Structure 1
Amino acid sequence: MAKNRLVVPEARQALEQFKMEVAQEFGVDDPRSLASNHTGYIVRKLVEMGEQQLIDNNKNN
Structure 2
Amino acid sequence: MTTKEFEIFFRKLYLPLGMYALRIVDDADVAEDMVQDAFLNTWERLEGGLEISNFKAFMYRSVRNE
Q: Determine if the TM-score, normalized by the shorter chain, exceeds 0.5.
A: no
Higher relative contact order (CA 8 A, sep 6+): 2
The structure that has the greater radius of gyration is 1
Bucket of the pairwise TM-score, normalised by the shorter protein: 0.3 to 0.5
Structure (1 or 2) with the greater helix fraction: 2
